[in-house]
Chains A and B, each alone.
Chain A
Amino acid sequence: MPRPPSPSIPEKDFLYGALKQALRLDGRAPLEMRTPSLDFGPELGWVECALGKTRVLAQVDAKMVKPPPERPLEGIISIHSEISPMASSEYEPGRPSDEEVAITRMLDKVLRRSDVVDKESLCVLAGQRVWHLRLTLHCLADAGNMLDCACLAGVVALKHFRRPEVEVVGDEVTVHRPSERAPVPLSMHHTPFCFTFAYFPDPATPPVLDPSHLEQQLSAGLVSVALNAQRELCVVQKAGGVPLAADELLRVVDVAVGKAKELDKIVEARLKEDWLGRHVEVR
């Protein structure tokens, strides 16, 4: 699969020159994020998140399985994300590229290792039946910063999803259909959001939040910070790239803290809006 050509020298010079004057090509301020737009599907747990032209689709579904013997009291969460060439011709099917590994591992850290969903609440019958949640992420289009978009889509999908109500009488488990009993939301510990900052080779250039495709290609380093609105950091990832002074990194973390609060409000408002528009009938 032919790789898209690397940016031309005029593009590079123009971008660097503009960034030095704190101007971005799409008119945003350096620390301004693209407004996320969340579209919910007809089923619960289906959400398409778009950051500008970057689109990621997330879907959650649940089924009951027998838990592994070493963890009989916890549910299972598995995240499946494969970046197909549909997102961009840079990605090849089959062998995961460096970037893909980075995105998948980051998603795993943000959504699974930081304990977003309370796994013990997914246990139905200890040692026999637990819920297995499967979060599937499809990257539809890559216009820069697919990582943030994917994390947002995943978290919102988990918040949007409702699992069927289960009744346990002794050893008997009855799963009620959504039409009989209202489905139950997942019990979540916290809501992490991921923010990516791009740094450029010239130290005089300020970092930019939520880089576009061109900015990402021409960046000299990326810093990803995942945190929730309660000022708790979940993941900080800076691997190589431009070396930063210690206080510069802490400043970036502070910016992310502010953005997390804003984003939390937007997500809550959107989820409420969608929920009001749905009819959950109980016969």
Chain B
Amino acid sequence: MVVEILNDGGYRSDGRRQYELRDITIELSQQGTADGSATLNHGLTQVLVSVFGPREAKMRSQTMHDRANINVEVNVLPFSTGERRKRSRADRRILELASTIKATFEPVVQTALYPRSQIDIYVQVLQQDGGLLQACINATTLALAAAGIPLLDFVCAVSGGVHAAAPLLDLTTLEENDLPHATVAVMPRTRRVTLVTLETRLHVDRFAEIFQLACDAGQVIHKEMKRALRERTTALVDALGSGLGRPTGNDMVDRDMIMEET
């Protein structure tokens, strides 16, 4: 049975339109003792990232005197794909994924604030349906923000591909297997690109098209991520009972308001 990537009515195999992104679900509840953690879904692709740090480095040899060391470990669970396959930790592809994530976040995390410490990022891939790098990067940004680690900006990633001169965004596994595709990560405030990976043959002009598209799509993902973080922070602040707008007429509230104004 041949599944059409994009049919005449403009619908893709999972019912989306050409430029439509998959449903994004973000969950920021605490996982274990992690300082920050996030579970992100792009449609059926699910990734869980836990961040520990900044904390004392396990291996003194890896510390740097003027900044924090970022350590990324990726674990792709055997049940994440359709066929159960156990992947070794030293699998080159997984090592490459980890080093790509590390390289992406090194200039974004303000490591200069925490010399001689270590920030550990543990990525668990729970379900794979295309857009793995995209999901890992988005989830890592959220987990770092949830951990309270200062970042220069969000990093929002999107994958894009081209099918018969029609650009598509946010590809599923079916589409990734057939189409040339690229993953682009942008920093939304400055609209600059921090990561581009293209691994399949693609004409230069087509690449320019999906590149521009992906940059714009990054802004959309940024909105979702900000919304989720804001909801979470508001919920936490309410639970602590220290939020503004509580008519208690207490000294504490006045002091808070003074701090806000400065």
Contacts and interface: CB of A to CB of B under 8 A. Distances in A.
Do A and B bind? Answer: yes
Interface in A206-239: 220-221, 223, 227, 231-239
A173 B78 CA distance: 42
Contacts of B100: 239-240
A246 B212 contact: yes
B113 interface: no
Interface in B86-120: 92-93, 95-96, 99-100, 102-107
Contacts of A253: 204, 207-208
A235 B193 contact: no
Interface stretch (A99-107, A132-140, A143-151, A267-275): A99-107
B144 interface: no
Interface in A242-275: 242-246, 249-250, 253-254, 257
B204 A101 contact: no
A250 B192 CA distance: 13
Interface residues of A, number: 37
B202 A233 contact: yes
Contacts of A232: 201-204
Given A101-B96, A105-B92, A227-B204, A239 B195 contact: yes
B201 A236 contact: no
Nearest to A98: B99
Contacts of A241: 103, 107, 194
Contacts of B205: 231
A238 B195 contact: yes
A233 B203 contact: yes
A240 B106 contact: yes
Interface in A76-117: 96, 98, 101-102, 104-105, 108-109, 113-115
B92 A246 contact: no
Contact of B207 (A105, A220, A236): A236
A249 B197 contact: no
A231 B203 contact: yes
B169 interface: no
Interface of B: 92-93, 95-96, 99-100, 102-107, 182, 187, 190-205, 207-208, 211-212, 215
Interface of A: 96, 98, 101-102, 104-105, 108-109, 113-115, 190, 220-221, 223, 227, 231-246, 249-250, 253-254, 257
7 contacts: A108-B92, A221-B107, A232-B203, A235-B198, A238-B194, A239-B195, A240-B102
